Amino acid sequence: MEKTDRKNSSLRNPQKQPNNFLKYAGLAFQFLAAILMGYWLGKWLDAVNENEKPWFTMAFMMLFLVATLYKIIRDITNE
């Protein structure tokens, strides 16, 4: 009788696990979005400050890159 109770309880409350492909594709899009946000923010700051070289663009792209890598590594290791 216990086996059927366990089976019925698992049917009522199925635990859905995300597909690995979808999970890692989502991480790739997060990575791309963060780098693009850093690029656009840096370009805007370089234009506002009239810099000859794209210092803000490089800095914000690197900052967003490191932050996103940290988040991705933390997400993967918490599995």
What tens digit of pLDDT does each residue of 1-18 get? 555 555 555 555 556 666
Widest distance between CA atoms in the chain: 77
What tens digit of pLDDT does each residue of 17-41 get? 667 777 777 888 888 999 999 999 9
> pTM score, two decimals?
0.67
